Structure 1
Amino acid sequence: MSREDRQRQLLDVAWQVVRAQGSDALTLGYLAEQAGVTKPVVYDHFVSRPGLLAALYEDFDKRQTAVMDAALADCEPTLNATAAVIATAYVECVLTQGNEIGGVIAALASTPELEKIKREYEAIFLEKCRKVLSPFVGEGAITQAGLRAMLGAAEALSQAAASAEISAAQARDELFATILAMVARATAGATHTAD
């Protein structure tokens, strides 16, 4: 098996462990046992538990980015279509990954190094959102605070949908409304600044 294929296999098994038993159960030794490989194989790929958790988050982020990029490339260049793509892509990616992404995110916050990785990926996502939404704010600007509020809403709504507290449609609709409100506020800010 190629190194890339082995890494994919180990990540898939790691996701299964997190899904079935939670992120606390995920150790490199346990992953080796579940994947049917020796511990050195797992350590060679991830070095440490934080390295494994970071790889899982990166795996999730890559899938989320690919889904969103493909949908943005195919959507109409309107605010409603763009906001719908962002909302749908975010919620659907979390739902596809299930409740386990919440455990990985919580584990990522447990150390400064892992929190830094999470923040780096968030910054990339937020900048992408700023870029695709900026054409709809005229002379205004989407603020970092607005983007952070949108991300907080996206995370909370997606997790609520993943735990069946609300429906996926409710999560998408509320996130869509949040994105529109952020853009409206940026647009209004430009109007007030010009006065």
Structure 2
Amino acid sequence: MNSSTRQRMSHQARRQQLMTVAWNLVREQGSDALTLGRVAEEAGVSKPVVYDHFGTRHGLLAALYEDFDLRQNAIIEAAMNAAGDSLTDRAYVVASSYVDCVLTHGREIPDVLSALDSTPELAEVKRKYQHDFIEKFRGWFSEASLPQASMWGILGAADAISNAVVSGDISQQQGLAELQALIIKLVERHQ
């Protein structure tokens, strides 16, 4: 890419390019290799360009998680809007959408999630998105009065099962079936 093309890129297009480079770095080398300087080098831009978009490495990690969360929620939301009315159908849609989205990102998501837990500020970013997901889940299964502990249990199970599928400890089908069964049991228990 020549310098005149780089200069013409909009702020949003540049941010997306930098995010793509960052995801590729995490995928290929893990989150420890993720630095603003490294992203700049791989994107063919100067460090100040990357600092302008993310400020710090923590800002970049938060942006990556936000990017993942927005895509994941959009996929699940669209699937839930198209799902049947039965509890079995809705539980399957949530389980499959969650696992599929994590699978799409592979090992990057566990790496980014682990890095997010490295500071209180980043852990708070993660918690905000977890709370958002819990509220959506509560709406999708409004026929039940799910206690907060159950909501956190489903989210923890979804993360753990998805990570086990990504690492090859269980098959995708096993993960989907188990997560779907857990959702159904919890919802039925609190109806």
TM class by shorter chain equals over 0.9
Any unmatched runs of 5+ in structure 2?
A: 1-8
1:113 alignment counterpart: 121
Structure 1 counterpart of 2:79, from 68, 71, 74: 71
Q: Does 1:149 align with 2:153?
A: yes
1:89 alignment counterpart: 97
Equivalent residues in 2 for 1:100-139, closer than 5 Å: 100-135=108-143, 137=144
Q: Does 1:44 align with 2:56?
A: no
User: Aligned equivalents of 2:173 and 2:77: distance in 1?
Assistant: 21
Deviation at 1:118, TM superposition (A): 0.3
Q: Which amino acid aligns with 2:173?
A: A
Q: Does 1:12 align with 2:16?
A: no
2:184 alignment counterpart: 180
SS at match of 2:170: coil
Deviation at 1:91, TM superposition (A): 0.2
Q: Which amino acid aligns with 1:172?
A: L
Deviation at 1:78, TM superposition (A): 1.5
User: Aligned equivalents of 2:188 and 2:82: distance in 1?
Assistant: 24
Deviation at 1:184, TM superposition (A): 1.7
Give TM-score scaled by structure 1 length.
Answer: 0.92
2:168 alignment counterpart: 164
SS at match of 1:166: coil
Count of aligned positions: 183
Percent identity between matched residues is 53
Alignment RMSD, CA only? 0.7
User: Aligned equivalents of 1:4 and 1:173: distance in 2?
Assistant: 39
Give TM-score scaled by structure 2 length.
Answer: 0.94
Any unmatched runs of 5+ in structure 1?
A: 188-195
Deviation at 1:81, TM superposition (A): 1.1
**Cα deviation code 1:105-132 (max 9, x no counterpart):** 0000010000000000000001100111
The runs of 4+ residues in structure 1 deviating greater than 3 Å are none
Deviation at 1:48, TM superposition (A): 0.0
SS at match of 1:165: coil
User: Aligned equivalents of 1:117 and 1:123: distance in 2?
Assistant: 10
1:192 alignment counterpart: none
Q: Which amino acid aligns with 2:131?
A: A
1:28 alignment counterpart: 36
Deviation at 1:19, TM superposition (A): 0.5
